[in-house]
Structure 1
Amino acid sequence: MDPATGAAIGSSVLELEKRAQNTIIRHVRYFTNFKNNMEEFRDQLELFEAKIDDIQNRVDVCRQNLQEPSNEVEVLLKQCTKFRVNNAGDLDNLKGLNLEGSVKYFSRYKFSKKAKDLEKKMMRLNVFNINLPMELNPPPETVVKFSTKYLEGLKSVENTKTEIIRAIKDANTVVIGLHGMGGIGKTTLMQQINNEFKEDNPHKRFASVIMVTVSDSPNIKKLQNQIGERVGLNFQGIESETDQRASRLLKRLENESILIILDDIWNELDLSTIGIPRGNGENKCCKIILTTRNRDVCQRMEASPIIRMACLNPNESWNLFESYSGTFESNPIREIAKNVCKECAGLPLAISVVASTLRHDKREYMWSNFLSGMVEHNFEELDGIEAKVYVTLKLSYDHLESHNQKLCFLFCSLFPEDYPIQLNDLMYYGLGEGFVTCGARVSSLDRILILIDKLKSRGLLLDVEGRREIYVKMHDVVRDVAIIIARNDEKLDFYSNFKDLTKWPMGGESETIKRISLMENSIRHVVDHNPKFHGKWMKSLLLNNNYSLETIDDDFFEEMGDLHILDMRGTRLKSLPTSFQKLMKLRVLAISNSYYHKARISFCDHLLSKKDLVVLILLDSRITMLTKEFGELVHLKVLDFTNTRIDIIRPNVLSKLKKLEQLRLLRSFNQWNKSDRNGNFVSFYELGSLERLYALEVEVFDEKFAMSSKEEPLNFLSSLKFFKIFLSDSNNHLAPIHYHDTNHKKILVLKSNEASKSISNWIIVLMKKAEEIQLNGYNWSKQFLGDKILENSDNIKFPLKYLFISCCKTSKVLIEFSKNKDCDAVILPEVKNIRLKELDEMENIFIIPIEIRVGSFQSLTIIFIMRCQALRSIFPWNVAVCLVHLEELYVRNCSSLEVIVIGKDNSDYYNKGQVLFPKLKRLYLYDLQNLKSLLWQQESVKRMEMELSSLMTLKVFDCMKLKRLFFGEKSAPELSMFWCNSDEWFDELQWNDEQAASRFKSIVRFDAVEGRASSRPLKTKRLNI
C-alpha cells in the first residue's frame, strides 16, 4: 500500500471514529438531558401551535375581507395540519408525560429522542418567519344599540312601526321608504326598530342590522367605512378609491342577509356608488330602509312600499307633551299649555323641546307669552324647515336664561351635521369666546357641563350613545334652526354648513363675519380670498380636519388682530404664515401636523408672545426645550403637547402655570426627575403645586418611581377627575402606548422588565379609581381585589371597566373574599373586559365563599386567559351565575386547567346550569391538556344540557381529555360551525342522545381541512343516564 493511500484510509477511519463518537454522545444525551429536552420541546411546541392558530385566525380575517392568503401561507397551513395529524399520538403523549415521576431509562431515551426529532420537523416548517399583528380585533356586533326616547303607546307611531316590520318580513321587499317632515320622529322610530333586533330577532332573518346617517351632503367614504366596519371589512390599500371600495363592499354584502337603514336622505342616492347590493327579494340579500323628508326621494330610489309617517293626533300630542312638561296643578296654565301643544302641530320634536323649555314653570304669564309668540309668527316653510318647527325652536332659544347658554347652543351649529361634539372642544371655544367663564373655585369643565345640561334639559342637545360623558350632538333640524338664527343675528355673524370645499369659499356673505367654521372639508391651500370673509371683525376661525391643508398665504392673518380662536388640528401644515405673529389676542390656539414631516415644525418661538393664551394645543411637533420664559403664559388652563417631542423641561416652568386645569404630555416628555450637564429636568412632584389640575396625561420612565415611598407629594393624583398615567422602568423614549379604550377617563399602565418589583401604596390608591388598568411585570403578591382592600375604600364603588395583567408575580388567587366576612359591596359592577396572561402562580381567579350581591360582574362581556399554567378552574358557581352578559370566553394554553365552572350541590344547580351564560357568543378553548369538563357535576346528578342560546362561534383545539360539552340537540341554535382539529377526539365525545350527536356532526369542521367529517361514518358514545 502506498503512503498516500494509507494516509487517506487513516483520515477516513479518524472521520468515522469522530462521527461514531458524536453519534454515541448524542444518543447518551437523550438519557442525560431528558428533562431539558422535554421542557425545550414543550416550549417550542407551545409557540408552534400558538403561531399556527394565529396564522389561521389571520387567514379567516383575510377571507372575511375578500382577500386570499398567499400560496406560501396556504401550503404552510396544509403542511402544519399534516404534521399535527400524523403525529397527534406522539404529541399528546409527550405533552402529557409527567416529568417529575419515575420514567424508565429506555423510556427516557425513547421520549427524548422523539421530542428532538419532532422539534426538528417543527423548525423545518419555518412558521416563525411569518410576521403577524399582536392582536386581532373581536368580531363586530351584529346590532349596535342606540339610546332613544321612543315612547310606547303612541298609536300612530306604533301603526307605522307595524307597517315597516311587515315590509321587513316580506320576502319580496327590497327597499322600504319612510318619509315625513323634519322633526316628526323618523330617526327615533328607526333606532327603536334597530334596538328591537338587538334584543330579539325571532325570525333570524339578518346576520347584521346596520344604521347610518346620510345627511344632505353624503360622504361616500364615510358611509363605506361605517358599513364596512360593521361587517368586519377594512379598506386598507384603497383608502382613497371609492369605486374599488364599493366593489369590495358589494362582494362582502351580496351573499349576506343584512338590514341596512339609511337615515336622513335628502336627494336620490345611487346605492351602487356605496357598494350596497339591491337583491331580488331572496333571503340572501340586503334589505334597505331609507328615511327622508321628501316622498319623491323614495320614488326615485324605487322604494316599495313607501310609508308616510303622520303627525301625532291631539290626544297623543298631549300625552307626549305632559311626559316632558310634567303635570299641571293650575287649571289656567293647563288650558294655555294645551293650546301651546296644539300649536306644535303634532310634531314630536317641537313638542319635546317646547315642553322641556317650560317644564315646571308655574308662571302663567310665561306660558301666555310663549303661546302669543307661536301664534303671531305666520310664515311659510323656511330653508326646508316646517314653520311650526322653526317657531317653536326659535322661541325655546329665546327663552334660554343667559347669553352664555345661547352662544354655546349656536357654537354647536358650527360642527357638521350629526357630528359627535366633544365637550372639551366646546369648553375650549367657550374659554376663547367667553361663554365659559373662568373662576377660582369652579373648573372650566364644570362650567361647560352646566351649560350642556341646561341645553339638554330643553331638548336642544342630545346624548351620544355610550359616550354621554364625553360627547353631545344636535338633531339635524335643531341644527338647521340654529344656523338660521346665527346668520340672521347681526351681532353674532356665524357662518358654517360649508361642504365639499377644496378652496376658500367665495360667497357673498356679510363683510362683518365674526365666526366661521370650515371644518371637515378638503381645502388644500388658503389663498387671498373674498375680502368679505377677511377682516378685523373675525373672532373664531375653525379649519380643523382639513386633512389636505398644507399651506396658508403669508398675509392671510394680516387684518385679523382680534382673532380669539384658531383651530387647525388635523391639517398638514408645513409652516405658519408670517402674518401669524399679528395674532396677539389669541386665547385658543390648536395646531397639529397630521402629515408626518421629517423636519417637524417648531412653533415654540411663535408662542411666547401670545400672553393671552388660555388653551394651547400643539400636536405632532417638536420642541427642544421649555425654558423659564414659557412659564410666563400664566393664563393657560389647557396645555396639550401630545405627540410633540420635548427634549427638556427645566424646573419651575410648569409650576408657574397656576391656573392650569389640563396637562397632556403623552408621547411627548418622559424624562422626569432626570438631569444633564446643563442642569436638572423638571421633577414630577412639581405638578403637585398645580392646585386646579383635574386632567393629567403623562409618561414616567423611571425604574424607581413606581416603588417610591414619597406618597405625600403625590396625593394630588388621587383627586384627578381624568388621568392617563404610564409608568415604566424602561428608558425607551416615546414608546408606543396601547389603550383598550381612549374614552376611558382614568387609565393606569404599569410596565416593568422585572417581576420582582413591588408597587407602592400611592399606585394602589390610583388603581381603586381607574377605569382601565394594565399591569405588566410587577410583583403583585396580594389579591387584586378582596374584602381587605374594600375595607379601606370608603364605600367607593370600583369604576374599573378593563383589566389586563400579564407576566406578573401574583398571589394564588386574584379576587378573594373571606368566608367569615360579609361584603356589602357590589363587586366590579362596571368591568367589561378581563385579560390575564402568563400569571404562573395564579391557581384561581375568584374565591368568593359568600353571597354575591346582585349587580356584581353585571357588565362583564369578555374574558381572555392565556398561559396561566397553575390555573385549575375559572369560575366558581356563584360567579358564573352572575355573568349574564358574558359574550366571549377565550382560554388558551393553561396546562393545569381541569374545569371551566366549579359546580355546587344544591337543588337549583340543574336548572341554573342549563341557562348559564345566556349571551355567550364566542367560546375558544385552545391547548388545554387537562381540561376534562366545562361544568363540574357529580355522576349521581341528572345530566344537564346547556342552552347557550346566543353561541355563534365555538372552537376547541387540543383539549384531548375533554369528553363532554353538555350540549343537547337544541343547544346553541345559532351555531353554524363547530371547529376542532381532531376527528378522533370528536368521535370520542359523549352525547346525551343520537340527535345531539348527529346535529353537531353536521356542523363540525376540522382545522383548515374541509369536509373530513362527512367522509367518515358516524360514531358516537351515548351516556348512561
Structure 2
Amino acid sequence: MSETLGNAVLEQLSSIYGFDENMQALRRKLEDLSCQETDMNTELENAELQSRNKRKREVENWLRNVEKKKCEIQGIEQELRERRIFSRLKYGKRVKRMIVEVEDLVQQGRFPEGLMIDACERIGDSLPTTRLVGQTSQRNLEEIWACLMNDEVLSIGIYGMGGVGKTTITMHIHNRIIDHVDSFQNVYWVTVSKEFSIHRLQNDIAKAVGREISHEGDEMRRAALLFKVLMKRKNSVLILDDMWDHFPLEKVGVPIRRTGCKLILTSRSLDVCHKMGCQEIIKVEPLSKEEAWMLFTEKLGHNNRLPPNVNEIAESVIDRCAGLPLGIITMAGNMRGVNDIHEWRNVLEELNESTRQGDMESSVFPILKLSYNHLGDSKLQLCFLYCALYPEDSYIDRKELIEYFIAEGLIDGRKSRQAEFDLGHSILNKLENACLLESVKGCRNDKCLKMHDLIREMALKLTKVNPRYMVKAGMQLRDLPDEQEWTVDLEKVSLMKNEISRIPLGTSPRCPRLSTLILRENPLERLPYSFVLHLHNLTVLDLSHTDIENLPSSISDLECLTALLLSRCEQLISVPSLAKLTELRVLDLGYTKIKRAPQGLESLVSLKSLNMQQTWNLEMMPTEKLFKLSSLQKLVLDYSSEHVRVQAEELMSLRHLEEFEGQLYDLHGFNRYVKSQHYKGLKVYRLQVRSGECQNRIAYIDFEDKYDKEVRIINCSLVRKSGGRDPLLLPHDIQYLEIDECQIVAGCLLDVSSSLRNARELKACAIVHCDGIEYILPSSSSLSPSSNAPFQSLEKLDLHGLQNLSDLYKWGRGDATPTNGTFLNLKHLDISGCPSIRKLFTIHLLQNLHNLELIYVWECKQMEEIIALDNEEENETESMDESTTTTSSSNQSSSSHGTVVSFPKLKRLSLQQLPELKSICGGVMACDSIQSITVIRCPKLKTLSLSLIPSNEQQSPTPPLEEILIDDRQWWESLQWNHPNHKNVLQPLVRFW
C-alpha cells in the first residue's frame, strides 16, 4: 500500500514539475490550431463571397469543436492565474490529454475534398414532406429509425407496393437525420431510375456528394473515386430511393462501414432487398381502414363534408384504394366537391369492374386511371399524357409546358397569347387538383410541376395503345432506338436528355402519323437529310440544347410544322429556307450563332412567336420583313447587337403584339413610341435605347427578379433644351429602369423625366455613371401639392459611379421630411463609387425606410456617416411644430445612449472601402433582424453603433446575427463598446476576409 501511495505522490510531483513544459506545448499546439482556423475562415469567406456554395456540415462541426476547445483552454489559463499550485495538481493529466486532442483537431481540419459544397445540390437540406397519417406510418417510421440508430445495422431495406408511401416515410427519415448532427454528419439522397445502369448511378451519387467524375470513363476507376470520397465522409447515410434491381455495391463504389457510410434503400421488391444484403428489411404496410378514411377526409377538405347517404358509398370506394396513400390522395382530389350520390355509385361500379387481384400495381392503377378517365375532356387528357414525355422525376416548367401545348394545338386558339396562357394554367391547375401532377415547392417561385413515378408509369402504359408514344427520355441512350421501334402508328417520340451524339446516315423512320419529335438536350452534332424525309405530318420539332451546326435542307419541306425549337443550339450557324413553312407558329432561334436571318422569314404568315435573343453573330436583320408578320404576338430580338434595331413605326404596326424585347433605333423614336401608347397593349416589354458609340453590353445589374416591363437607356443625351420638352418619356407602368452613361445636367434624377414621378409600379432602378446626377429626390417644396410620393413602390435602388451625387434628397427651405410614402417599400439599397456623398441617410428620411433589408455602401471616398444626426438638422427639427416632429420621428426614439434609430427588417449591412467613414449612426442603430455585417477597409470607424445585444445583457447576440465579416484584426481590437462585455459576446461571430 505504501508503495502504491509513493508512486501516486511521484506521479503528482512529476505532473507539477512537467506542467509548465506541457502547458507551453499546449499553447503552441493551440496557436497552430488557431492559425488553421483563421486560414479556413478566410478561405470560406472568399468562397462564399464569390459563389452561392455553402460550407460542409463536417466543416461547421469542426469549427464548433475548435471554438469549444479554445474556450476550455482559456478556462484553464484563467484558473491558473488565480490558483496556480492547486490548478497544476488538478489539470496536470488533463493538459497532456488536451495536447493530444488539439493535435487530433489539427489533423481533422485537413479536408482533402474541400470545404464547400454546391448549394444547388442541397446536400443536407430538408426535403419537402407531407404529414404522416395514422399509427401505421408512424410505426414504420420509428422502426426504421431504431434500425438506423443501431451501430450494428449498416444497411436497411424498405419495401412495399407502389404508392404505399415508402418514399414519403424515407423523406421523413432523411429530415430527421439532418436534425441529429451529433449522430450523422452527412446524408445523401439519390433517386434510382427504373432505367438503371452502373454508370448512371455512379454519376448520380457523385453529384449528391459534390464530386465530379464525368471526366473519368473507366467504370472501375469511377468506383474507386467514389469509394475514396465516401470513406472519408464519416457518419454518413446514403439513401437510394426506388430501386428496381440489385447490383454489387463495390462495383458502384459504395463502402458500407461502421464508422463510414450506412445504406438505406427503398424498393417495390423484397427480392431486391435480400440480394442487396440488407441486414434489416422493413415492409411498409398499407394504411388501416380507419387511417385510410382519416387521410381521405383530410385531403377532401374540412369544408367538403359528405351527405350521410354518400358516406357509406365513399367508404367502399376508399376500401378499393387498398390502404395506398397515393391512391387515396388521388381519389380525394378527383372527388373533391362531388356530393351527388349517383356519381359516387358510378365511381364505385367502375372500380369494381377494373380491379383485379394479384399484380402489385393493379390495385392502384385502376384508381389512377379512373382520375384520368374523369378528366372528361380529351384535350385535357392529352395534356396530362404530354407530361410523360419528360424524364422520370423531372421538374417541369409550367410556362415551357404551356408553350408546348400551344404549339401542339392542345389549347384552343384564343384571340390573345395571354388568354392562351390563362387557359394553359387552368388546365394545369385541373391536373394538379386531380392529383395527377404536383407542384414542386421552392422551384422558381413554385412554377414547376412533377409527375409521381407511379402516375407516370400509368400514363406510359396508356400511351402504348392509343395514342401511341415512344418515350425514352433520360435513359442515357447513346444510339437512336432500333428501326423496328419506329412503328407506323407512332404519334409522339421523346428522346430528350440522352447521350445521342450522332444519327447514322441514311436513317429514315417511316412514321406517317408522327406529329412530335423531341431530341432536345442531346450532344447531337448532325441531323441527316434523310431523317425527316418521311415525317410529313411532323408539327413540333425540338432540337434545342444540342450541338447541331447546320440543319438539313429537308427541313424546308415539313409543311405541317407549327413549331421549330432551336434554342441554345450554340453551334448552329445556318438555317435553310423556311418559305414553305406557312403553318409555322413558333420559331425559337435564341442563343444560336446564326449570321443571317432565315430566308423566307417574311412568308411565315401564321408566325405568332419569334425568339432571336442573344444571337450575337447576327450581321444584319431586315426588320422591315419582320413587321410584315402581322400575326406576331411575341417578338424577342437581340439588343446587344447594333445591327438589330427597330423603328417606332415598325413596332407600332404589329397590332397583335403582346411581348416585345429589343432595341429601338434612337431616343427620339423611343419617345415617339411611348407617346403612341402602343406599349399599353403589351403584357411584357423590355425596351432599350443605346447610342452607337456605347460598348456592347446589356444591363449593368442583374437583379434576382426579372421584370416584365423594363427600360434601359444607355449612353444617350438626356439634356433638356431651353424651353423644350422632356428629354425622356417613360411608360406609366414601367417596373425596372436603368440609365447608364447618359449625359444629364438636370441635377436631380426626378427632373430627368417628369413621367418618372408617376411611375407607380417601378420596382427597381439602376443609375450608373451619370455624372450630372447630384440628387435622387427633389425638395418637397418643389413638388406640386397634388404630386404623388415619388418612388413609393421602389424596392431596389442601385447607384453606381455617380461622381457628383451629394445626397439622396435635396433639402429645400421649409422642408420637414420628404413626401410621405417616398421609399416606403425600399428593401435593397446599393451605392458604390460615388465619391462626393458624405452622408447616406438624414434623420428625416428614416420615417419611410422601415422596410430596408439590405444596405451596401462601397468605395465612397468621402462618406463620413451612414445616418447623420447633425446640428443643422436638429435645429430644423426644433423649429417644426410638435405634430410634425412626432411624424418625422417614427423610426427613432431616445435611450441612455442617445437617439435610437430603428431598421426593424434590416438583414445585411455591408460597408467596404470607406476611408473617411467615422460613424454608422450618431446615436444607436437598432436592427433586431440583422443577419450579416461586413466592414472592410473603414479605418476611421471607431464604434459599430449597432444594438446587437438584447437589453437584458444576456450572454449571446441577437439571434438572427450569423457573422461579422472584417479584414483587420487590429481594427476589431481597437473598437469602442457601450458595454465591456459586448465584444466578448460577439467575438465568436467574427470572420476575417
CA distance, structure 2, for counterparts of residue 825 and residue 273 of structure 1: 68
The corresponding residue for 2:374 is 399
Match of 1:692 among 656, 681, 695: 656
Asked if 2 retains the 8 angstrom alpha-carbon contact of 1:960 and 1:985, the reply is no
The corresponding residue for 2:612 is 641
The corresponding residue for 1:536 is 512
The corresponding residue for 1:216 is 194
Secondary structure of the residue aligned to 1:505 is coil
Q: 1:398 corresponds to which letter in structure 2?
A: N
Output aligned runs, 1:658-737, within 5 Å: 658-666=630-638, 670-671=642-643, 683-700=647-664, 702=666, 704-705=668-669, 708-713=671-676, 715-730=677-692, 735=697
Secondary structure of the residue aligned to 1:748 is strand
What are the Cα deviations for residues 633-672 of structure 1, in whole angstroms up to 9, with x where unaligned?
1111121223444444446423332222221222686546
Secondary structure of the residue aligned to 2:347 is helix
Asked if 2 retains the 8 angstrom alpha-carbon contact of 1:755 and 1:807, the reply is no
Match of 1:984 among 970, 975, 983: 970
Describe the shift of the 1:222–1:731 C-alpha distance in structure 2 as closer, same or farther (beyond 3 A): farther
Asked if 2 retains the 8 angstrom alpha-carbon contact of 1:871 and 1:897, the reply is yes
Asked if 1 retains the 8 angstrom alpha-carbon contact of 2:153 and 2:279, the reply is yes
1:357 to 2:320 alignment: no
Secondary structure of the residue aligned to 2:365 is helix
The corresponding residue for 2:15 is none
Asked if 2 retains the 8 angstrom alpha-carbon contact of 1:574 and 1:593, the reply is no
Moved more, 907-916 or 327-336: 907-916
CA distance, structure 2, for counterparts of residue 176 and residue 816 of structure 1: 71
Moved more, 177-186 or 369-378: 177-186
Q: Percent identity?
A: 24
| C-alpha displacement of 1:934 | 4.8
| C-alpha displacement of 1:400 | 1.2
Asked if 2 retains the 8 angstrom alpha-carbon contact of 1:702 and 1:730, the reply is no
CA distance, structure 1, for counterparts of residue 137 and residue 936 of structure 2: 47
1:752 to 2:711 alignment: no
The corresponding residue for 2:581 is 610
The corresponding residue for 1:867 is 833
What are the Cα deviations for residues 44-88 of structure 1, in whole angstroms up to 9, with x where unaligned?
xxxxxxxxx99994798699899xxxxxxxxxxxxxxxxxxxxxx
Q: TM-score scaled by structure 1?
A: 0.68
Match of 1:657 among 618, 623, 629: 629
Asked if 1 retains the 8 angstrom alpha-carbon contact of 2:555 and 2:576, the reply is no
Q: 1:872 corresponds to which letter in structure 2?
A: K
| C-alpha displacement of 1:697 | 2.4
CA distance, structure 2, for counterparts of residue 507 and residue 815 of structure 1: 73
| C-alpha displacement of 1:145 | 7.9
Q: 2:674 corresponds to which letter in structure 1?
A: E
Describe the shift of the 1:728–1:754 C-alpha distance in structure 2 as closer, same or farther (beyond 3 A): closer
Output aligned runs, 1:489-638, within 5 Å: 489=466, 491-497=467-473, 499-506=475-482, 508-509=484-485, 510-527=487-504, 534-547=510-523, 549-591=524-566, 594-596=569-571, 601-605=573-577, 607-619=578-590, 620-624=592-596, 629-638=600-609
| C-alpha displacement of 1:440 | 2.6
Q: 1:723 corresponds to which letter in structure 2?
A: Y
The corresponding residue for 1:313 is 288
CA distance, structure 1, for counterparts of residue 208 and residue 150 of structure 2: 24
CA distance, structure 1, for counterparts of residue 868 and residue 153 of structure 2: 46
Q: CA RMSD in A?
A: 5.5
What number of residue pairs does the alignment pair up? 840
Secondary structure of the residue aligned to 1:395 is helix
CA distance, structure 1, for counterparts of residue 151 and residue 862 of structure 2: 50
Q: 2:938 corresponds to which letter in structure 1?
A: D
CA distance, structure 1, for counterparts of residue 151 and residue 824 of structure 2: 42
CA distance, structure 2, for counterparts of residue 172 and residue 309 of structure 1: 22
Asked if 1 retains the 8 angstrom alpha-carbon contact of 2:711 and 2:734, the reply is no
CA distance, structure 2, for counterparts of residue 913 and residue 298 of structure 1: 64
Secondary structure of the residue aligned to 1:488 is coil
Q: 1:987 corresponds to which letter in structure 2?
A: E
CA distance, structure 2, for counterparts of residue 187 and residue 409 of structure 1: 23
Q: 1:322 corresponds to which letter in structure 2?
A: T
Asked if 2 retains the 8 angstrom alpha-carbon contact of 1:487 and 1:495, the reply is no
The corresponding residue for 2:12 is none
Asked if 1 retains the 8 angstrom alpha-carbon contact of 2:230 and 2:254, the reply is no
Asked if 2 retains the 8 angstrom alpha-carbon contact of 1:380 and 1:386, the reply is no
The corresponding residue for 1:957 is 937
CA distance, structure 1, for counterparts of residue 373 and residue 470 of structure 2: 17
Describe the shift of the 1:672–1:887 C-alpha distance in structure 2 as closer, same or farther (beyond 3 A): closer
| C-alpha displacement of 1:910 | 10
The corresponding residue for 2:92 is none
Asked if 1 retains the 8 angstrom alpha-carbon contact of 2:719 and 2:727, the reply is no
CA distance, structure 1, for counterparts of residue 533 and residue 861 of structure 2: 68
1:997 to 2:983 alignment: yes
Asked if 2 retains the 8 angstrom alpha-carbon contact of 1:587 and 1:612, the reply is yes
Moved more, 863-872 or 250-259: 250-259
The corresponding residue for 2:348 is 371
CA distance, structure 2, for counterparts of residue 353 and residue 623 of structure 1: 51
Structure 1: where are the runs of 5+ without partners? 1-52, 67-135, 674-681, 939-943, 1008-1025
| C-alpha displacement of 1:881 | 5.2
Match of 2:923 among 937, 942, 953: 937
What are the Cα deviations for residues 552-573 of structure 1, in whole angstroms up to 9, with x where unaligned?
3332222221222211112222
Q: 2:801 corresponds to which letter in structure 1?
A: E
Structure 2: where are the runs of 5+ without partners? 1-41, 56-115, 811-815, 870-888, 950-954
| C-alpha displacement of 1:623 | 4.9
Asked if 1 retains the 8 angstrom alpha-carbon contact of 2:203 and 2:213, the reply is no
Asked if 2 retains the 8 angstrom alpha-carbon contact of 1:292 and 1:298, the reply is yes
CA distance, structure 1, for counterparts of residue 136 and residue 897 of structure 2: 46
CA distance, structure 2, for counterparts of residue 236 and residue 497 of structure 1: 22
The corresponding residue for 1:99 is none
1:474 to 2:451 alignment: yes
| C-alpha displacement of 1:452 | 1.7
CA distance, structure 2, for counterparts of residue 557 and residue 426 of structure 1: 24
CA distance, structure 1, for counterparts of residue 899 and residue 256 of structure 2: 45
The corresponding residue for 1:436 is 411
Describe the shift of the 1:978–1:295 C-alpha distance in structure 2 as closer, same or farther (beyond 3 A): farther
Match of 1:415 among 390, 393, 397: 390
Describe the shift of the 1:496–1:245 C-alpha distance in structure 2 as closer, same or farther (beyond 3 A): closer
Q: TM-score scaled by structure 2?
A: 0.70
| C-alpha displacement of 1:156 | 4.6
| C-alpha displacement of 1:138 | 11
The corresponding residue for 1:107 is none
CA distance, structure 2, for counterparts of residue 168 and residue 152 of structure 1: 19
Asked if 2 retains the 8 angstrom alpha-carbon contact of 1:506 and 1:529, the reply is no
| C-alpha displacement of 1:519 | 0.9
